[in-house]
Structure 1
Amino acid sequence: MAKKAGARDPSSRQQMIADHVMSEGTAVAQELAEQFGVSLVTMHRDLDELVRRGIVRKYRGGVTALPSSVFESNVTFRLNTAVPEKQAIAQLTRSLVEPGMSVLLDDSTTTLAIAEALRDISPLIIITNFMPIIRLVVGWDDVHLISLGGEYNPMHDSFIGVPCAQAAQSLRADVGFFSFSGIDNAGVYHQEQEVVFTKRAMIGAAARRIVVVDHTKLNRTALHRVAPLTDFEQVVTDDKAPSTVVEGLRRQINVLVASPPHS
């Protein structure tokens, strides 16, 4: 296996280590140190950080990837995956928002990218249960922020549960953007029941409902079906989505495909 340069910042290296471990399933610490060109002590520090973030589990001499249902829930992990694709999706969905609208954004890193893309559209009402979006928009001019409180979940960095659902049910947004663990022709899915309850309430609070998912979520399912595709107006994904999967979805719902600027 080709040796990777060790001269990079720890955050980037740790993301590459996480990607490698999740691809292979397990890895030996000494081999990882050699592969990434760092000392064994440094590698153990990197692995300890990935353990702290809930992405891998250490065993004597190595690490193993946690089940996908665990690391996909970790917001720190999700913030560093499919970033160009999420940004492309955000730029495309930006055209669906006009000044004066109320916009509901769920607790996903794709909707965080959408929030960033809405920076120069105002006035707006932004409704969300996701702390990174709240932190992002709290100081913006001409943006009225409504945060959906409830039980704080540190793994998701968001609010969920009955109070959050009740807050959502008392509102009616012009448009809502929602992301999920998986999507197929039968509907959209998430692996955690407590999150499903909150998402359903938020979906019901939007007049127009848009699914925003990068290509890694397509043709996948999870434990709980959140809603059928008929509950949504359209799906927005990126240009790495297999054409056969996109065409299959288009038999059920309108699908928009976003391309990054360099494509």
Structure 2
Amino acid sequence: MRAEERQHRILALVRQSGRVEVADAAVEFGVSRETLRRDLSELERRGLVRRTHGAAYPVESAGFETTLARRETQQVAEKRRIAAAAAQLVGEAETVFVDEGYTPELVAMQLPTDRPLTVITASLRTASLVSASESTTVLLAGGRVRARTQATVGSWARDMVARFVIDLAFLGANGVSREHGLTTPDPAVADVKAQAVRSSRRKVLVGVHNKFGASSFCKFAEVSDLDTIVTDAGLSAPEAHRYSLLGPQVLRV
């Protein structure tokens, strides 16, 4: 099998599985681990995968994005720890924006219910979850619903968020890098996220470590726009420090 064909099949496997181990993939494709690493290095150079500690993850792009259902099955323990730590940052905030995505949804599930709180979101699932609390007022942004993420996008959603001055935003991203900032595959999604950044006094990014160093298609914020990043310990301490030099506090949990 030629290297180009093998790399194409490796990419398909990474995107289908959400993660591949170097050792397992080398056996599956009948090549040495060194050859497999070279293939992954080439795919990473082309911005298609992100390598980390003997494994590789897909990079979400204009032509590829994982579904919400898939995200619910990947790195769940890490995402729950991130969400629990992020929820502790609410403090005295009375208005909170919760982004689309599984990790922000987990944050929403841990927001305080013992006092009045207004939650603004574009996520249908988050709106449904937090509306169960009588002390929580939910403002759901209108617009076109994306089937892949079950969230609204478009000018209606963006313009509604623009009308508010929000105490705190919990944001997700498909890619985070010091060079390209916070990115996501869809321009319509990026518009809503960018407006949430502009409308919020405090901004907290929540995301697992393999999002870092990756870049997707549409930029919606700079790392320096953030107040806090909450991620897992898979992001090395030196790398976390490099991000903190751009402004935000970085919490590894």
> What's the TM-score, normalizing by structure 2?
0.73
What are the within-5 Å matches in structure 2 for residues 4-23 of structure 1? 18-19=16-17, 23=20
Aligned to 1:88: 81
Question: Helix, strand or coil: the match of 1:117?
Answer: coil
What are the within-5 Å matches in structure 2 for residues 178-257 of structure 1? 178-186=171-179, 187-257=181-251
Q: 1:184 to 1:68 in 2, by over 3 A?
A: closer
Question: Helix, strand or coil: the match of 2:73?
Answer: coil
Q: Does 1:174 align with 2:172?
A: no
> Is the 1:100–1:125 contact (alpha carbons within 8 Å) kept by the matching residues of 2?
no
How far, CA to CA, are the matches of 1:179 and 1:121 in structure 2? 26
What are the within-5 Å matches in structure 2 for residues 1-263 of structure 1? 18-19=16-17, 23=20, 68-69=60-61, 72-98=65-91, 101-186=94-179, 187-259=181-253
Give me the identity figure in percent: 21
Question: Which of these two proteins has the greater Rg computed from alpha carbons?
Answer: 1
- Give the unaligned 5+ runs of structure 1: 1-16, 25-30, 32-65
Deviation (angstroms), 1:249: 0.6
> Is the 2:227–2:247 contact (alpha carbons within 8 Å) kept by the matching residues of 1?
yes
The runs of at least 4 consecutive aligned structure 1 residues that moved more than 3 Å come to: 66-73
How far, CA to CA, are the matches of 2:101 and 2:216 in structure 1? 16
**What letter corresponds to residue 187 of structure 2 in structure 1?**
Q
> Is the 1:86–1:214 contact (alpha carbons within 8 Å) kept by the matching residues of 2?
yes
Residues 194-245 of structure 1: CA distance to partner in whole angstroms, max 9, x if unpaired?
A: 2111211122121111111111101111122211122221211111212232
Question: Helix, strand or coil: the match of 2:230?
Answer: strand
Deviation (angstroms), 1:251: 1.3
> What's the TM-score, normalizing by structure 1?
0.70
Residues 13-69 of structure 1: CA distance to partner in whole angstroms, max 9, x if unpaired?
A: xxxx9537x528xxxxxx9xxxxxxxxxxxxxxxxxxxxxxxxxxxxxxxxxx9843
Deviates further, 165-174 or 218-227:
218-227
Q: How many residues align?
A: 205
Question: Helix, strand or coil: the match of 2:109?
Answer: helix
How far, CA to CA, are the matches of 1:68 and 1:99 in structure 2? 35
RMSD (CA atoms): 2.6
